């Protein structure tokens, strides 16, 4: 019984930090989108680094880089499913230093998903505003940065850091019967 209570408090503490850090990223994403909409919408792009980086307001009704325009319901359902998967992952991540980068991935992916989900549900489009003119990269936002950095971190962890034994946390535990 004490073991179950102990696990409950560890899980509660883990989720507290998970939601605090995710919330900070979502807040920053939404704040920057509001500022971008209020200052850039209907105005010409604002050059930050001439010829390299500019802010320009775009309403994206599709996925990354404007693909699949008008598939908002699909993206809402997909995002909710991914977020549920992330929450499941968080329940399985051991609270040891070795797995902090995996928790960072989960926080970034969750925050990015929530940030764009808020836009999709509330506005029926996602507000994008960061544009790398020098490479003509599609316009994106802070939530997109969170998702991209999180997934990049996961790829690095899977390829270079974690080994097969590190995935034991995902194997189904046998229930003790006594």
Q: For 112-124, what is each residue's pLDDT tens digit?
A: 999 999 999 999 9
Tell me what pLDDT residue 35 has. 98
Strand order in the sheet with 126-132: 46-49, 53-60, 126-132
Task: Point out the residues of the chain with pLDDT beneath 70.
Answer: 1-6, 8-9, 64-67, 70, 172-178
DSSP string, 85-134: HHHHHHHHS-SSGGGHHHHHHHHHHHHHHHHHHHHHHHHSSEEEEEEEGG
Tell me what pLDDT residue 1 has. 65
The rounded radius of gyration (Å) of the Cα atoms in the chain is: 19
Which listed residue (29, 119, 136, 144) is catalytic? 144
pTM for this predicted structure: 0.88
Tell me what pLDDT residue 66 has. 61
Tell me what pLDDT residue 169 has. 79
128 as an active site residue: the answer is yes
What is the distance between the alpha carbons of residues 93 and 122, in angstroms, rounded to a whole number? Answer: 32
The encoded tokens of residue 120 equal: 């999709």
pLDDT above 90 covers a percentage of the chain that reads 76
Residue 71's SS3 state is coil
Residue 31's SS3 state is helix
CB atoms within 10 A of CB 63: 16
Give bridge partners of residue 60 from the DSSP assignment: 126
Which listed residue (29, 119, 128, 136) is catalytic? 128
144 as an active site residue: the answer is yes
The helices-and-strands tally (H runs, E runs) of the chain is 4, 3
9-32 pLDDT, tens digit per residue, is: 677 899 999 999 999 999 999 999
Within 13 Å of residue 163, how many CA atoms lie on the same side as its CB? Answer: 1
* Integer CA distances (angstroms), 123 to 28, 55, 60, in order: 18, 20, 10
């Amino acid at each position: 019984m004490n073991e179950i209570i102990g696990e409950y408090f560890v899980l509660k503490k883990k989720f507290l930090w998970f939601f605090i850090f995710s919330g900070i990223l979502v807040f920053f994403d939404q704040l920057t989108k509001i500022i971008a909409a209020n200052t850039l919408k209907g105005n010409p792009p604002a050059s930050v680094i001439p010829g390299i980086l500019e802010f320009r307001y775009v309403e994206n009704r599709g996925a990354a880089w404007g693909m699949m325009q008008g598939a908002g319901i699909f993206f809402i359902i997909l995002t909710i499913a991914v977020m549920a998967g992330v929450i499941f992952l968080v329940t399985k991540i051991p609270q040891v230093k070795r797995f902090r980068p995996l928790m960072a991935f989960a926080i970034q992916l969750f925050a990015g998903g929530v940030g764009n989900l808020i836009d999709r549900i509330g506005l029926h489009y996602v507000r994008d505003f960061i544009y790398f003119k020098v490479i003509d990269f599609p316009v994106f936002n802070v939530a997109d940065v969170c998702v991209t950095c999180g997934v990049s971190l996961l790829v690095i962890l899977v390829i270079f850091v974690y080994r097969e034994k590190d995935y034991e946390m995902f194997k189904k535990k046998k229930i003790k019967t006594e």
